[in-house]
Amino acid sequence: MNPTLGKQGYSQENYAYACELDRTYVGGSERRERNLSLRNIERIADTLEISLAELLERV
């Protein structure tokens, strides 16, 4: 899963902060070096102000 879908102009650092995730974790997940937990996927959806289902449809 690529968490940058619809990032809405955030820098990677600000995006990670808004999601309450570590910047290196976000970078690793973007490079597909890390797996995202369901809780972190939910944080991303909340930050993007979309439903979890909508985020998963984009994968």
Q: How many domains does the chain have?
A: 1
- The predicted-structure confidence for 2-41, as pLDDT tens digits, reads as follows 555 555 777 888 889 999 999 999 889 888 999 999 999 9
Residue 45 has pLDDT above 80, yes or no: yes
Burial profile 4-40: b = 16 or more Cβ within 10 angstroms, e = fewer: eebbeebeeeebbebbebeeebbeebbeeeeebeeeb
Q: Does 1 reside within a domain? A: no
Structure tokens at 3: 């968490």
Residue at 21 is within a domain: yes
Position 31 in a domain: yes
Identify the band that residue 1 occupies on the pLDDT scale cut at 50, 70 and 90.
very low
Is residue 25 within 8 A of residue 19, CB to CB? The reply is no
CATH code of the domain covering residue 27:
1.10.260.40
Q: Cβ distance 1 to 29 under 8 Å?
A: yes
Instruction: Give pLDDT, residue 58.
Output: 76
Token reading at 25: 């974790």
4 domain residue, yes or no: no
**Quick check: is 5 in a domain?**
no
What pTM was estimated for this model as a whole? 0.77
The residue range of the domain holding 18 is 12-57
